[in-house]
Amino acid sequence: MTGPREPLIFELPPSRPGTYAGGTGAPAAGEGIPGEFLRASPPPLPRLSELDVLRHFTRLSQLNLGVDTAFYPLGSCTMKYNPRLNEEVAADPAAAGAHPLWAPDLVQGCLAVLWSVERALAEVSGFDRVSLQPAAGAQGELGAMMMVRAWHQKRGRDPRTIIVPDTSHGTNPASAALCGFKVVTVPSGPDGCADLAALKGALGADTAAFMVTNPNTLGIFEPRIAEVARMVHEAGGLVYMDGANMNALLGVVKPAECGVDLMHFNLHKTFSTPHGGGGPGAGAIAATAALAPFLPSPVVERGERDGRAFYRLDHDRPDSVGALTAFYGNFGVVLRAWAYITRAGAEGLARVSRHAVLNSAYVRARLAGLLPAAYPGPSMHETVFTAAPLKARGLSALDLAKRLLDYGFYAPTIYFPLIVPEAVMVEPTETESRGTLDSFVEAIGRILTEDPELVRTAPHTTPVSRLDEVKAAREPVLKA
């Protein structure tokens, strides 16, 4: 324990007898409830006033670093600021109060939003149709692999191998394996991109698809993506793109025009929803016309009724891989994306990506001489550095990340991708100012000159310091 400790709510002294957070009087009990269902004694709840509860949870919230309080350079996750306007739109009772079982006539506005976001994503990516149903990026990957399998089976084939480069997101091989495929990994070349010779050797009659993250997890755009697509297609496979890093490509590159057959978006990352800790998310799947019949059901269809646009959910799709979530996914996340896309427009989305790439290039240039980049440039929206030179001072990437917390910066992603020794992945996003990026770089510079023991024992200003993270994961303490 290094900083001030906030007591458990049960450890706080009661305000006074009979107090509870809803007011100062005890609620009526037992009215209309049979006696056998009543407690013999009150539940052991803390007796605190509303003000005490508010202060307790506010103090707890201030113990964390987050996008609203600090720079959050969590590489490969695009933890950028989310405009509050989008939250206001999502909280509108007309949307937040809509029930998924209501008839289409009563939710035309909601269905219009779904249709509008689908068409916007199709335009941004170059694909023909989009399903907004998946509730997370990994579920979008899984749905895409189900589509790959269904597409091959429809053609009388059943290839069982998925090829992934070693720079893919970790969920890619997991999603493929969960779908019943055998996963083969191909290495990267010295430029950090997929090794074409290794890919050629891995391709064969049993190849179902090649899963590529682009830009990859090194932050590098695969410049030979069109050639990769040609090779895979000649082998009879499909090309799937993990679009989690689409923050770098909006309005600049359309994956479908590069030969990609299907991809997923992380709406919560690219198009603004506060996320982390497991959700909420939305992993939309985009596909070519040939693969569109296999998209998860239902999809939104737009027609006319009485001379006006009319939207409905189409469940009658015999080639579909079926439903991945109840009803139509995380509508609140899609609505936030709608607000983000509508406000930005085509020009604004392109500006988002250009600023994200510019900020990353700026950090890379400013850190030159302090932390070497893992691969030669240029990087896109994120850059992977290596903290391996710090070993000469007895320090590691973990020590650097922990010490940054004392300077008020959330720690970057470390030790990923696994192919980079002592990896430090930094994604500044487009929402950070030059002043913030300068402060971040200067903090790293100061840390590298500090007493190694001070750095090894960091953080010193947080409520807790170094935890046994393995033990915490295996033996979680979920109650006092």
Contact 67, 81 (CB under 8 A): yes
Q: How far apart are CA 231 and CA 237, in angstroms?
A: 9
Question: What is the reported pLDDT for 480?
Answer: 55
Phi, psi (degrees; rounded to nearest 5) at 218: -90, 0
Confidence check: pLDDT of 421 > 70? yes
Write phi, then psi, for 128 (nearest 5 degrees): -90, -45
- The yes-or-no verdict on residue 430 having pLDDT over 50 is yes
Among 5-14, 117-126, 229-238, 423-432, which stretch is predicted with the lowest mean pLDDT? Answer: 5-14
Position of tokens 């430029």? 191
In tens, the pLDDT along 328-341 reads 889 999 999 999 99
**Rounded to the nearest 5 degrees, what angle is found at the Cα of 64, between the Cα atoms of 63 and 70?**
120
- Helix and strand counts by DSSP (H, E) for the chain: 14, 12
Phi, psi of 297, rounded to the nearest 5 degrees: -105, 150
Residue 366 has which token pair? 């400013």
Distance CA 225, CA 232 (A): 10
What's the pLDDT at 30?
56
Residues 359/431, Cβ–Cβ less than 8 Å: no
So what CATH class is 85-344? alpha beta
Q: Tell me the mean pLDDT in the region 23-33.
A: 58
Cα–Cα distance measured from residue 260 to residue 255, given in angstroms and rounded to the nearest whole number? 6
**Under a CB-based contact definition with an 8 Å cutoff, are residues 46 and 34 in contact?**
no
Q: How far apart are CA 209 and CA 207, in angstroms?
A: 6
Q: Lowest mean pLDDT: which of 45-49, 174-178, 185-189, 476-480?
A: 476-480
pLDDT tens digit sequence for 312-369: 999 999 999 999 998 888 999 999 999 999 999 999 999 999 999 999 999 999 999 9
Quick check: 117 and 125 in contact, CB under 8 A? Answer: no
Please report, for residues 108, 282, 301, the alpha-carbon distance to residue 112 in angstroms, rounded to integers and kept in the order given. 6, 17, 10
- Indicate the range of 226-235, 329-338, 449-458 predicted with least confidence: 329-338
Q: What is the pLDDT of residues 393-412, one digit of tens each?
A: 999 999 999 999 999 999 99
How many CB atoms lie under 10 A from the CB of residue 200? 13
Strand ranges (E), 289-370: 299-305, 308-314
Strands in 285-287's sheet, in edge-to-edge order, are 129-131, 285-287, 262-265, 238-243, 207-213, 161-165, 182-186
**Ranges for all domains in the chain classified under CATH 3.90.1150.10:** 347-471
Phi, psi of 265 (to 5 degrees): -105, 150
83-104 mean pLDDT = 92
Q: Residue 264 and residue 138: Cα distance in Å, rounded?
A: 9
Distance CA 169, CA 144 (A): 15
pTM of the full structure: 0.90
pLDDT of residue 3: 55
- Name the β-bridge partners of 131: 285
Please tell me the total number of residues recorded for the chain in this structure: 480
Please write the tens of the pLDDT for every residue from 49-72: 889 999 999 999 888 888 888 899
Residue 262 has pLDDT above 60, yes or no: yes
* Domain 347-471 sits in CATH 3.30.70.2610: no
Q: What is the per-residue pLDDT for 467?
A: 86
- Mean pLDDT score of the chain: 92
**What percentage of the chain has pLDDT greater than the value 70?**
95
In this structure, what token pair is assigned to residue 448? 């590298």
Q: What is the average pLDDT across 295-307? A: 94
pLDDT at 1 over 60: no
Q: Which amino acid is located at 460 in the chain?
A: H
Closest CA to 171 of 73, 122, 240, 220: 240
pLDDT confidence of residue 24: 47
CATH 3.40.640.10 region(s) of the chain?
85-344
Least confident interval from 16-20, 259-263, 291-295, 385-389: 16-20
* Range 8-24 average pLDDT: 73
